[in-house]
A and B are shown apart, each in its own frame.
Chain A
Amino acid sequence: MAGLTLPPRAAAAAAPPAVGQDPPWVRALVLTAVVGFIGLFLFAPLAMVFVGALSKGVGPVLHALAQPDSLSAIGLTLLVAAIAVPVNAVFGVCAAWAVAKHSFPGKAFLITLIDLPFSVSPVVAGLIFVLIFGLQGWFGSWLSDHDVKIIFAAPGIILATIFVTFPFVARELIPLMQAQGVDEEEAAATLGATGLQTFWRVTTPNIRWGLFYGVLLCNARAMGEFGAVSVVSGHIRGQTDTMPLHVEILYNEYDFVGAFSVAALLCLLAVVTLALKALVEALEPQFLESGAPRHGV
């Protein structure tokens, strides 16, 4: 019985090492490998973008960004994100809500469909829209008759971006909502809340951090998408160039400072996204599990 009366600390010290406690040299080796890999393949290239942009000082960077074509690309990218992200946030919440809180025939098929944009190459996604709305496409002649431009214009770019970035919000929310179950919604119903009241007062607050994170990722991808947008944009300078497309054009014209300047701006977006994510996690350590503040207010 002596073992049971030992203070916990002494008992722990006497206990054999727990499973998963590897020797120090193994841990050091694995850690070095991981840090080295991240440094070499993730951090160094990102740093190189800024080095490349600032190689001749800040002045040329600002000059490159102030070019009308650059400004137009920045404006178009912001417009695309401003439309695609809210649309995908709304539909992502709807899809996750339907999948996680309800059961209906064809649910498994719907989950597969949500993943489709991830499994299809963005170039193919772009081609799909050309096939549908292009001049030779299904609606092509009708659209040109009515003077509506979708392909090689902003609407096509927005459609392609929505397609490519659709899964981010839904994929973030589905596991979260499934884990939370329907208990709180049922409790709200027995307390007299309507479906809409339940959604706004109970469901939404519980998913707010997951939604926020999904929107961040969705936005990063919406601004950075190249492949699908490249196919439908037509690369008309000052009109249908987004930032990633503009980077490629400048680079192909040997305007390295210009290319790296626009690229740096895109990278800055990634950095801001990561910083926001880190901030959220610092404020809310269990933010993926729940929306409850740790301390009473």
Chain B
Amino acid sequence: MAYDRPDAPETDVNAGPAPDLAASNRDAPSRAPTPDASAPAAITLDHVSKQFARFPALRDVALAVQPGELLAVVGPSGSGKTTLLRLIAGLEFPDQGRILFGDEDVTLAKASDRRVGFVFQQYALFKHMSVARNVAFGLDVRRRDRPNRKHRDARVAELLKLVELEGLAKRYPMQLSGGQRQRVALARALAVSPRVLLLDEPFGALDATVRKSLRRELRRIHDATQVTTVFITHDQEEALELADRVVVLNQGRIEQVGVPEEILSRPATAFVAGFVGQANVFDGEVRAEVFEAAGMRLPAEGVADGPAQAYIRADQFALGDAANEDGGGLEVLVRRAPPCTGLVRLEVDLEGRLFEAALPRREGFATPAAGDRLRLKVVGGRVFSSPA
């Protein structure tokens, strides 16, 4: 598996403290995109466009979010990620196109009528309310079926247990750490049994260690509640690790939608290869579906003859053997070799050009040090025609 799922789902459901949550979503198929084409998507964006002043935020975006899936929207800042999320939530309205929840057209429905859970980047907790009141807010403002106090308190306790904040019900947001606020925001959004949970850069404001553990938390909570979830991030690693499927957005357009494995190994566009794979770019030439550049040769199926660029991820290099390498291999000088675990990450210098190579650790093989000369071979990568 290309990405890490720290908790197995079956243990989660049992351990999950939210039987009612699980029950309310029982009809949802268990995680992952369903191949069942007859079931309507949880959310459908039907060729949606949105323009702010003169700047187009989204251009003709078509996307179907499957029931119960955890979908990541990834892209650089200004790519329209937040706009996409706000359109789904009903905090903005599209200029063109339709938005459907299941079969229901919600294009013009108000945010308060959509029953979405929205976790804001800065959490937007109600500062003057305790944690418990924050979580209960969505239940307290109901005009129909407002639960009585006992039910409400039970629900709040259940949600706080789900996000592991049982002891903090009476605290105020200002007394909580960033990670705790994030959990409160999540519990508050889940309280309304949302049809879809939307998270705007859920880990953006947290430090690295908290991010890691909260990522796992989000996956666990998602598996326990089975609620259809869309989160946006500018961190491609986060998207690949966490999501069932990833949408790559660039300049308001969808570049690719796919499972993380597919996005990483078969990037549809040069942008995806560069942004998600953080690939190194090598200029060369394609002739008869073979890419050639100094020291390397790659298959380039379906790429027209002419100038082209190879996108090669750091982990798509290996130590080469001068004698029998295809294309001769790359003669590089190791500039930096920081200590690390897992792959050996090196900053290498190819005739004045620096890039990163991550080589598998091999037994009985001395880790390269700065100043060493190595020969690298290219063991993967994607070729795209050079932009005109």
Contact = CB atoms under 8 A, between A and B. Distances in A.
Given A296-B175, A297-B130, A192 B124 contact: no
Interface residues of A, number: 23
B232 interface: no
Given A189-B111, A191-B141, A192-B115, A202 B171 contact: no
Contacts of B192: 191-192
Given A193-B112, A292-B174, A201 B124 contact: no
Contacts of A187: 118, 120, 124-126, 188
Nearest to A184: B124
A192 B141 CA distance: 7
Interface string B190-205: 0110000000000000
Interface string A183-204: 1101111111110010001100
Interface string B108-120: 0011111111101
A293 interface: yes
Contact of B89 (A190, A192, A206, A291): A190
29 contacts: A183-B124, A186-B118, A186-B124, A187-B118, A187-B188, A188-B137, A190-B89, A190-B112, A190-B116, A190-B118, A191-B112, A191-B189, A191-B191, A192-B112, A192-B113, A192-B115, A192-B138, A192-B142, A192-B192, A201-B141, A202-B126, A205-B129, A290-B127, A290-B128, A291-B128, A292-B127, A296-B172, A297-B130, A297-B170
Interface of A: 183-184, 186-194, 197, 201-202, 205-206, 290-294, 296-297
B173 interface: yes
B137 A193 contact: yes
Nearest to A291: B128
B172 A292 contact: yes
A97 to B, nearest CB: 17
Contacts of B120: 183, 186-187
A190 B111 contact: yes
A201 B192 CA distance: 17
Please name the 5 residue pairs, one residue from A and one from B, whose CB atoms are nearest each other, closest first.
A183-B124, A191-B138, A190-B118, A187-B124, A193-B141
